[in-house]
Amino acid sequence: MSDSADILNAFKGIESVLRQSMETDFWYGLPERHFDQVLGWVLDQGSHGSPERRPTSTGKQNRFPSWSWVGWISGASLGTYFPTKEHRSEIHWFLINDKGVAFRLSTVASNAIIDYHKDGNKDVSVAPPPWDGCSPPSWKGRDMFSRIVPRVKAPTDEEEWRFPRYLACKNALATFQLDGQVQSLNGHGRLWEHNANLVIWAADGTRAGSIMMSRIFAAKVSDEPRFFEFILVTRLKRSRSHMTHVAYFDESIYPNRDWCHLSVMMIEREGTVAQRIGVGIVHEDAWVNANPRITFIKL
């Protein structure tokens, strides 16, 4: 494309069809009703090296967020890495416009009531009990936005909401290490031939999860292992037919039970704003053992 700003314009035709068939609005190319799930897209670096952030034009309408595929110069895939049968959201997501006004996204997973507390499942939820989405929540950190409005007060065709400035949430944050070690996909690796399925290590040295990243990123953390921050995205119920021979964590330590898979977003801070680096899977027991702290994240 002649201008990086053309990416959303090029997607408009497809989006208009999907908007009707899926009965949902889109935000930077991601469907709102399934927002929790689609945050798990995986970049395909192809043969062009490590994926790069899409340049931002000078106009305010062309800020490409790291949490959407449109913010990166690369292909992206969805639905093949995560072992998903059902989702349950553990947090509430908010979009904030230039005026500091926010609304809560209405997603299938956040509106679902799923009874999963069995077989040793842990309560990791950060979302408060069901509420109307516009009454001020009893939060600290309200400086992220000036006020909250009902979802119907934020139509996508109005200029102030066409390109929200931030994605924000009250979330749980935990730290894990990456050292470049690759976890086998047992024959499924051809789906990501240019990427590497990296081990997410807990502080006690156990294999807590895994995350799909570029091979160049894998080489960097192999040379310089480091700790990364992760935030909670959603809880997954594994599909029994999805990559059945793939172990996302050490199953001799972390039992593979229903609803034990947590999708977690790896982030890096740039001032007061966090950037999405990738989304992986961590076992709920490893997440609880990491003593996550509650914080406020703006992406």
pLDDT tens digits, one per residue of 196-223 = 899 999 999 999 999 988 888 899 999 9
Taking the C-alpha atoms of residue 26 and residue 33, their distance in angstroms, rounded to an integer, is: 9
Residue with the bigger pLDDT between 47 and 80: it is 80
User: What mean pLDDT do residues 98-121 have?
Assistant: 72
Is residue 137 scored above 60 in pLDDT?
no
Q: Are residues 162 and 176 in the same domain?
A: no
d(CA 269, CA 277): 10
Predicted pLDDT of residue 61 = 45
The pairing of beta strand 293-298 with beta strand 30-31:
unpaired
In a domain, 176, yes or no: yes
pLDDT band for position 298 (cuts 50, 70, 90) = very high
**146 vs 180 pLDDT, higher one:** 180
Least confident segment among 44-53, 102-111, 195-204: 44-53
Q: Strand, helix or coil at 144?
A: helix
Whether 2 has a pLDDT exceeding 50, the answer reads: no
Residues 292 and 186 in one domain: yes
Same domain, 183 and 278: yes
- Distance, in Å, from the CA atom of 81 to the CA atom of 74, rounded to the nearest integer, reads 17
Question: Rounded to whole angstroms, what are the CA distances from 13 to 8, 33, 249, 258?
Answer: 10, 19, 40, 38
Same structural domain, 47 and 101: no
pLDDT mean across residues, the chain:
80
Whether 209 and 120 map to the same domain: the answer is: no
Check pLDDT > 80 for residue 127: no
Query: Among the three residues 77, 98, 126, which one is the final residue of a domain in this structure?
Result: 77
Whether residue 1 is contained in a domain is answered as no
230 domain-assigned? yes
DSSP one-letter code for 248: S
Range of the domain at 176: 171-298
Same domain for 98 and 13?
no
Domain count, the chain: 3
Same domain for 212 and 262, yes or no, is: yes
**Integer angstrom CA distances of residue 15 from 20, 109, 140, 173:** 9, 21, 36, 33
Q: Which amino acid is at 283?
A: H
What per-residue confidence (pLDDT) applies to 60? Answer: 46
pLDDT at 130 over 80: no
* Residue 87's pLDDT band (cuts 50, 70, 90): confident
Domain check: are 196 and 270 in the same one? yes
Q: Are residues 149 and 177 in the same domain?
A: no
Residue 288 inside a domain? The answer is yes
d(CA 136, CA 149) in angstroms, rounded, equals 9
Judge if 218 and 293 occupy the same domain.
yes
Choose the final residue of a domain: 48, 77, 106.
77
129 or 171, greater pLDDT: 171
d(CA 226, CA 180): 10
**Local confidence band at 43 (pLDDT 50, 70, 90 cut-offs):** confident
Tell me, yes or no, whether 207 and 287 share the same domain: yes
